[in-house]
Amino acid sequence: MAVDPRLAGRRVHVKVPATTANLGPGFDTLGLALSVYDELDVAVREAPGATVRVEGVGEGEVPTDESNLIVRSIRHTFDHYGIEMPGLELVAHNVIPHGRGMGSSGAAIVGGIVAAKGLLEGIVDIDADGLLARATELEGHPDNVAPALFGGLTIAWMTPQGPQHKRLTVHRGVSLLVCVPESTTMSTALARSLQPASVPHEDAIFNVSRSALLIAALIQSPELLFAATEDKLHQNYRASAMPETDALIQALRAKGFAAVVSGAGPSILVLCGDPAQRLAAAEIVAENAATPWQSHMLAVDFKGATVVAHPVEAAA
């Protein structure tokens, strides 16, 4: 394949929100987009291959060549649509913490796919289903990439035809607190390995009821958040790998806060029905944490990933 000449000179800017998945009982299904963003500039160049400059989180740590996850996501998208990826220069402005359960890998994947969509504008039309399908192929499950793509609260599920999603608007009374340990990380693969292959029937029923209740709490009745965030499918099994996270969640829930593990952890998500509750929850974390934690009072991102194409500069 030859590089499509229409790609010459194209440049895009991408912005992708962090996410928090599971939300307690909604394992591998529910996710929220957060008001923390990674940004990405991608420019087509004449030389083949790709180079990446990382600024912020991951600088000096993540790959800066074609093995970078963003580049691999761009290439995956180009390959799917039968178009050769051109030479690229990328600048990644990273804010989302890595390995903390805030969807950093999902954001990288979505950033690459949305960048590819912007670069291919007018050449290939990639719709919402195509974006979610490509992202899920790389991520393995859609619960993080769906809110990163579409914003808000998302329900994601798999079908024989591929991943599907439904985006919902969160009640304006819901406020978010995300507490992030400064030094502790958690591998998603490790977290998943700690779960059993099967669970008791009553535990499955318990989570079905709480997941249904959680949707109602998030979009209509925030006063139900505490009861709605109970879980028996994954958090207890993973607790041994995140003892401080587990201890802080127990301390928060003992005071009536709807605290859960954010994604695979070790960060903590607290869903509050009143913005003032976030201050009290943050104080509990500060008083009980044995190591440094940062508490972030966040909003729900309602836009999801965005891409802006810069005008192609005319040849001199």
Known binding residues for ATP:
97-107
In what helix (H) or strand (E) does residue 283 lie, and over which residues does it extend? helix 277-288
Distance of CA 248 to the CA centre of its chain: 22
The owner of tokens 């500060």 is: 286
Burial bucket for residue 257 (CB in 10 Å: 0-12, 13-18, 19+)? buried
Residues 6+ apart with CB under 8 A from 63: 52, 69
Task: Please state, in angstroms and rounded to a whole number, the distance separating the CA atoms of residues 71 and 42.
Answer: 10
> Using N-to-C axis directions, what is the helix angle for 128-139 and 69-80, rounded to 10°?
130
Measured torsion, CA atoms of residues 154, 160, 162, 165, in degrees rounded to the nearest 10:
-20
Task: Please state, in angstroms and rounded to a whole number, the distance separating the CA atoms of residues 6 and 307.
Answer: 18
Task: Please state, in angstroms and rounded to a whole number, the distance separating the CA atoms of residues 266 and 262.
Answer: 7
Give binding residues as ranges. Answer: 97-107
In what helix (H) or strand (E) does residue 189 lie, and over which residues does it extend? helix 188-193
CA 234, 237, 239, 241 dihedral sign is negative
What residues form DSSP beta bridges with 17? 37
Q: Classify each residue of 132-162 as buried b or exposed e, where b means 16 or more C-beta atoms within 10 Å of its C-beta.
A: bbbbbbbbebbbbbbbbbbbbbbbbeeeeee
